[in-house]
Amino acid sequence: PSPKSFQPNGASEEALRCEIKELKQKDLALDQEIAQLLSEGYSLEELDKHICLLHEYNEIKDAAQMLLGKLAVIRGVTTKQLYPEYDLELSD
């Protein structure tokens, strides 16, 4: 196969350009958000700590969701039906 056969077509190239532009905009927005937080007195270490805690929270929540799902299968109900039993909000 020729090297040309591995080149993306024009539509794919345009889609990649758009995606790159969107990612650059998101990067700039995140940089601005970080600058805002720093100006409000937060430190990078504190922000890193919050990010780590959010990751830990999400991992715990994922594990709880998995357990609720397995329990729901065993009981033959939906996970939504288990929420009141464990005093959980649907937004949890």
Range of the domain at 30: 9-42
16: helix, coil or strand? Answer: helix
33 found inside a domain: yes
Judge if 87 and 47 occupy the same domain: yes
Residues 19-42 have a mean pLDDT of: 93
Average pLDDT over residues 56-65: 94
51 and 77 share one domain: yes
Q: How confident is the model at residue 8 (pLDDT cuts 50, 70, 90)?
A: low
- Cα separation, 80 vs 63, in Å, equals 16
Cβ proximity of 19 and 8 under 8 Å: no
Instruction: Assess whether 35 and 47 both reside in one domain.
Output: no
53 & 20 share domain: no
pLDDT at position 42 is 87
Q: State the total domains in the chain.
A: 2
Based on the fold, state whether residues 71 and 55 are members of the same structural domain: yes
Given a cut of 50, is residue 2 above it in pLDDT? no
Same domain, 38 and 63: no
pLDDT at 39 over 50: yes
What is the residue-averaged pLDDT of the chain? 87
